[in-house]
Structure 1
Amino acid sequence: MKTNERQFIIHHLGLYYLSISVRCLLSKGYPLVLAWFLLSSMHVFAQTDSSRALDEVTVKTFAPARFMAGLKIQSIDSVTLQQAKFQTLADFLSFQAPVNFRPYGNGQLTSIGLRGTSSNHTAVLWNGININSPSTGQSDFSTLPTAGFDLLAIQYGSSSCVVGSDAIGGSILLDSKPTWEKKAELSFGQRIASFDNWQTQLSARLSGKRFSSKTVFYKGVLNNNYPYTERNYYPVERSTTDSKGFIQDLFYLTKKQNQISLNVWLSDNNAVIAPQSIHTREVLQTQSIRVLNTYQIKKLTLRGGYVQDITNFGRGNFDKPSRTAIDRFLIRAEHEWQFSKLTAHIGTEAAHVIAHVDGYGGSKITENRLDVFAWLRYQFSARLLATLNARQAFVKSFDPPLAPALGLEYQVAKSVRLTGNISRSYRIPTMNERYWSELGDPNLKPEDGFNKELGINWNHTKNDFSLSSSLNAYHNLINNWVYWNPEVNYKVQNLQQVLAKGIEFSQKVAYQHKQISSGLMANYSFTHSSQQKAYDIYSVDVIGKQLIYIPKHNFTANLFFQTLSFGKNGLLKEHGMPFRATLQWQANSRRYTAFDNSKWFDGQQIFNLIIENGLRWKHLEGKVFFQVNNIFDELYLSSKRNAMPGRNYAINLVLNINK
């Protein structure tokens, strides 16, 4: 395909997806946003003077991170991502960060909690757009594959001013990254694991100076054929999960260094609990379509997107499942200016939501949302950096608070940096919380949080050793916390005021000498999250008590050893790839299951071992990963008082063709 033909196709694909969003917003009444959007577009596409000198464009996948001064951001390196390409984000992040996951079983619904908050207080961003379900306000981390993304980061603490709604506890950042060099890669991966579980992946990358493409197909089946029905008198719940998906990332760089991209992500997941018995069987089907088109022209970025989430839930023979179907149309426009030491970034994002949910009484619910934001970054000196951000959301029948934030970073010495951040956050109640028949309340108030945190970072390198440490303390007070109140038949109310506070410590030690490298990455967090006000006479006993399913202490550690050459002669010497062994550890203290802390799950410790090696011959690479999970056969429970699997094994084979 010729270059101009390829540009024509990509360009018009983008216009098609953008036009969907524009038509939707025009019909639903965002004339000012639409007018600004079209005026910006006219300015962009009118640049036809090839003799005009254009500024060099630096393409960044997640520009907002530059405006998060004072916030803790943990990036995951590519080597670690490659080891975990067959894992879900829930399984992977459990051993990488002090993050609280709450699984309902192996391969079943898994929710996240950051810094003592609940599952709908963490935003999940895919290439800059929030993919949390508008109905539940959260993402199922058992359906998010690690292999689908090039960049992965965890952002801790309130970031509503940058991310928007949901980011009271933090956010998960998932991004795709183009490669602007001539390269062709084909990869096939197969995983075979205990309990008759398996996964298959096929991916291809093709890139040149102006074109970059990544295609990923994945398919996995968890039959969970356990050889036991109970562990230490706790039942082991049988379930099956069938998941598959397709990811396509396309990037094109014009002669004027403008970037056009198209990102597509399709997923289909089917989980069956107790499949052996029709009387106790539960079926959860989830399907998603995510399409994002982005134009980056100099300092102006335009996005148009479409997201569809479908959920079917039923019991028994699954004849009449409860159905949820939500469509979202998104447009976003933002521009950045550079004035000496000051960087200014302003933008707006509009969304139109259409919900068909059986639980809402059969009627279609539509909703328009608009966000306006401004971010400022000022480099006072080589040592002092400050950011000042603000976001205002507009939603019909709501009055979300203005979300400002001030962040500072100060380089005290060459190896010591101090950080601080003060921010206000908010969460717009989910559609389930507002519109669920009889239990929902359309008049709920948005949740309103005020977060303060301080941090210190220390880095030191000497000879073959490098050392980095960080210590963060935070205090996050959240008002109007939405609560499904059991005292009134679980009707939704703004009842709780919750205070989440704690400290986080991370340590990285690395050693590199000739062909040998090793290192330790460890994290610890202390989290105290409790209700602060009583809303009736029955809630007095829970004041100051730890919220359920949130452990006070959480530890993770990864110890690795790697050698570039395994063997002094022969086949391994000539064609061998690095040998790497990684020992993972994850532990947490007791998790309370009763609001008065009278019942709990005991603390747990899980150890995993991963061994990796491979051979390389010309353009062909073959890697083998052998993994032992839960080495010491630890008994730990899910949120349903069912035991999770004991010791289990997996072997992964990955074949790569690079040219």
Structure 2
Amino acid sequence: MKRAITAIAFLLSISGHVSAQDKPLWELDEVVVSDTRLKNYTEGHKLSRLKDSTIQRSGTFLTALLAFNSNLYFKENGFGMVSSPAFRGTNASHTAVIWNGININSPLNGQVDFNTINPFNYSSVDIRSGGGSVQFGTGAIGGSVHLNNDLRFETHFDNRILAGYGSFDTKKVNYGQNFGNGRWSHNFGINYTTSDNDYKYLETDNRNRNGEFQNVTLNFNAGYVLSDKNLLRLYHQSFIGDRNLSGNLVTQGRSRYEDNHYRTQLEWVSLGKTSTSKLKLAYLYEGFNYFENKDSAIFSEGNVTTLLARYAYDIKLSDAFRLNSFLEYNHFKGGGSSFGDPQRNDVSLTALLKHEVSEVFVYNFGLRKDFSSDFSSPLVFSLDGEYTVGDHYGLQLSASRNFRMPTFNDFYWKPGGNLDLVPESSYQIDLGQRLEFGAARFNLNGYYIATDDMIRWLPNGSDIWSPSNIDAVRIYGLEGELALAYPIQRKQNIEFKANYAYTVSEDLATDKQLIYVPFHKANASIAYNLSHVGLFYQHLYTGPVSIIGGELEGYQVANAGITYSQKLKGKLQYSLGLTLNNLFNTYYENVALRPMPNRNIQTQLLLNF
């Protein structure tokens, strides 16, 4: 952590020096995106982008942003506790999280806790539906969530301060800075969040005891133009979290969990007339301490370090064909109380071919092969394309084979790990239709996923839980998305967005819906702005889900807010906001016996200068 802060301080100190330098001969685009594969090789997939205005209306964590603005379903062990996604009926390890182009799913459990990610740290958040293992590796079966830090190289210097206070003594502070001068660009952000989190359990006399949490997130991203054809980019993120783990309606919690994440990647980009070369080096660290009794000095621990090296070469072969290929190496090294000191080395080879058949028809074909020191991985492929009819209609089709590697926990957990596991394999097809009329956009997608060798933890004859490749799962469904942005007059506009998902996710051995997968999920939001005043309303419906031994009731929950914004002298602008979460004071659980918060208030002040 000290090394990371020292490096950031050094980079900040040299930004003043580079600001005086002339703009280079090579004219950069105004915005350099962090993941060009997402931009250039995604024609056949549904892609939803959540921008800054939507992010600012979200809660503290990425969970709330996606729950109210996408088709992802989340299981939360209480507010601020572990949050796991279910994307298109898959489980948490089947949603890949891509941070500025690299997969950051944990090598320990294959997941990302969405309550450790603050959406304010990113330029945008993208949701890519459907299989993506060819481009994004293990776990990209249901879909992928992309966290983007784009760099703006046009001359600018912007600052943002956000301070908020709300119910349950919840406090948050955020500072962000963006700078660019043509040759150098950086953005910097630091966030602090803390909460007593002692909300009342509705319909009971109890409270959420032992739910306190606090965390700090530090982000620094920078780009520097070395010459007319060479660019250097750096991305860094540190997360330090400390939270007690809430109990439930039956048992009062007393445990505590500390987790730290440090992510750094350095990328060199070389531009030619028809080709681009990229060399990426990354260091990822994840560590945790778990205290069964928060008042005790005894704890279990675990950590894993990932070293990544990737070389990518993208070339325009002709007016109709473009080829992107990359070679990637990953070294994983773990250590922990319950899984020893495992290591693994993985190498992957990937090729993506883009063919622009005509102005209205484009398709991509991809192949990927992984080689691991621990197991044999399947050859995976992807084929996707789009056919557009006029300016208003597009037909999208994608087909792919995808995979998920067993994790360190799956292999080495003591007791119960299984060294005979093989990677999960999944085939899927997706047909989508896109309609656009002016400011209105509608997407409708139907999909089918067949997964074999799904890894499931079950008790064996000795009552020890152990993973096995036993499940075959069939998933199919429909997804709809409607978005409308309408300027009523010069200082008045309205935005509306709605999502609906119908999901069938069946275990073929039992013909029953998988647990914690709702058949129906829908959300809608509307925002109205009139001069200095903004109003918004969000509504979420989640249908009943199967749980072990029964069913968990569905629920509807809503949030509403108001903001007042005013421009002062020069660049200074301020915005005051008030949000009522769980507006109708609904009792609901998205994990059995773990109630979510009652009605609560969040206030915030946002300064831009």
1:140 correspondence with 2:113: yes
* Alignment pair present for 1:359 and 2:313: no
The one-letter code matched in structure 2 to 1:435 is Y
What does residue range 482-631 of structure 1 map to in structure 2 within 5 Å? 482-488=455-461, 489-514=464-489, 515-533=491-509, 543-563=510-530, 565=531, 578-594=532-548, 599-617=550-568, 618-631=570-583
Paired residues of 1:393 and 1:402 also in contact (CA < 8 A): yes
By percentage of residues, which structure has more strand? 2
Alignment of 1:640-651 (within 5 A): 640-651=592-603
Root mean square deviation of aligned Cα: 2.3
Q: Give deviations 1:552-588, integer Å, cap 9, x for gaps.
A: 100010111112x2xxxxxxxxxxxx42211101111
Q: Conserved in 1, the CA contact under 8 Å of 2:28 and 2:153?
A: no
Scaled by the length of structure 2, what TM-score is found?
Answer: 0.91
Greater mean deviation of Cα atoms: 93-102 or 318-327: 318-327
- Per-residue CA deviation, residues 75-126 of structure 1 (Å, 9 max, x unaligned), is 1122212333x62100111100111100001111111110000000011011
Distance (whole Å) between structure 1 residues aligned to residue 328 and residue 189 of structure 2: 29
CA contact (8 A) 2:303 2:335 kept: yes
Partner Cα separation in structure 2 for residue 510 and residue 293 of structure 1:
38
What is the CA distance between 1:413 and its match in structure 2? Answer: 3.3
Aligned to 1:75, the other structure's residue is in SS state strand
The answer on whether the counterparts of 2:180 and 2:186 sit within 8 Å (CA) in structure 1 is yes
Counterpart in 2 of 1:79?
A: 53
Q: What letter corresponds to residue 155 of structure 1 in structure 2?
A: R
What is the CA-CA distance between 1:275 and the residue it aligns to? 9.3
What one-letter code is carried by the residue in structure 2 that aligns with 1:70? Answer: G
Q: Secondary structure at the match of 2:147?
A: strand
**Corresponding letter in the other structure for 2:551:** W
Which residue of the other structure, out of 364, 388, 399, is the alignment partner of 1:411?
388
CA distance, structure 2, for counterparts of residue 590 and residue 209 of structure 1: 53
Tell me which amino acid in the other structure corresponds to 1:499. R
SS at match of 1:79: helix
Query: What code does the residue aligned with 2:322 have?
Result: T
Deviation at 1:487, TM superposition (A): 4.7
Q: CA deviation at 1:234?
A: 8.4
Aligned length: 577
- Alpha-carbon spacing, 1:553–1:274, altered in 2? closer, same or farther (3 Å): closer
1:396 maps to which of 359, 373, 380: 373
* CA offsets 1:316-363 (integer angstroms, 9 cap, x no match): 124221101111111111011102111100001111111001101xx4
- The one-letter code sitting in structure 2 at the alignment partner of 1:320 is I
Take 2:337 and 2:592, find their aligned partners in 1: how far apart are those partners? 26
Question: Which 10-residue stretch deviates more, 484-493 or 230-239?
Answer: 230-239
1:60 shift after superposition:
3.4
Kindly state the Cα deviation for residue 257 of structure 1 after the two structures are TM-superposed: 4.1
Q: CA deviation at 1:412?
A: 2.7
Q: 1:269 aligns with which of 241, 244, 252?
A: 241
Give the aligned residue type for 1:288: H
CA distance in 2 between partners of 1:81 and 1:394 (Å): 38
Code of the residue aligned with 2:82 in structure 1: it is L
CA distance change for structure 1 residues 634 and 506 in 2, over 3 Å: closer, same or farther?
same
How far apart, CA to CA, are the structure 1 residues paired with 2:574 and 2:345? 50
1:334 corresponds to 2:306: no
CA–CA distance in 1 between the matches of 2:232 and 2:385?
34
Gaps of 5+ in 2: 1-6, 15-24
Please tell me the residue identity of whatever aligns with 1:498: V
What is the alpha-carbon distance in structure 1 between the residues aligned to residue 565 and residue 403 of structure 2?
Answer: 48
Higher helix fraction (1 or 2): 1
1:236-275 matches, cutoff 5 A: 236-238=207-209, 239-273=211-245
Give me the whole-angstrom Cα distance separating, in 1, the residues matched to 2:374 and 2:238.
33
Query: Is the Cα–Cα contact under 8 Å of residues 235 and 642 in structure 1 kept in the other structure?
Result: no
Q: Pick the aligned partner of 1:322 from 285, 300, 305.
A: 300
The offset of 1:371, in angstroms, is: 1.0
Q: Match of 1:480?
A: 453
**Which residue number in structure 2 is paired with residue 449 of structure 1?**
426
Q: Is the 8 A contact 1:240 1:275 kept in 2?
A: no
Q: Which position in structure 1 is the counterpart of 2:20?
A: none
Q: CA deviation at 1:519?
A: 2.4
1: CA distance, partners of 2:78 / 2:342: 32
Distance across 1 between alignment mates of 2:172 and 2:495: 30
- The more displaced of 389-398 and 179-188 is 179-188
CA distance in 2, matches of 1:187, 1:78: 12
Question: Displacement, 1:202?
Answer: 1.5
Deviation at 1:55, TM superposition (A): 10
Structure 1 unaligned spans of 5+:
1-5, 14-52, 534-542, 566-577
Q: Shift of the alpha carbon at 1:390?
A: 0.9
Specify the SS of the correspondent of 1:254.
strand
Q: Which runs of 4+ in 1 moved over 3 A?
A: 53-60, 233-236
**What secondary structure, in the 3-state scheme, does the structure 1 residue paired with 2:538 have?**
strand
Matches within 5 A, 1:140-289: 140-226=113-199, 228=200, 230-233=201-204, 236-238=207-209, 239-273=211-245, 280-289=253-262
Aligned AA (1:402): L
Instruction: Tell whether the 8 Å contact from 2:28 to 2:182 is kept in structure 1 after alignment.
Output: no
1:181–1:209 Cα contact (<8 Å) kept = yes
Q: 1:122 to 1:275 in 2, by over 3 A?
A: closer
Q: Which of the two has higher C-alpha Rg?
A: 1
* Structure 1 residue 273: Cα displacement: 2.7
Q: Structure 2 vs 1, CA of residues 287 and 599 (structure 1 numbering), >3 Å: closer, same or farther?
A: same
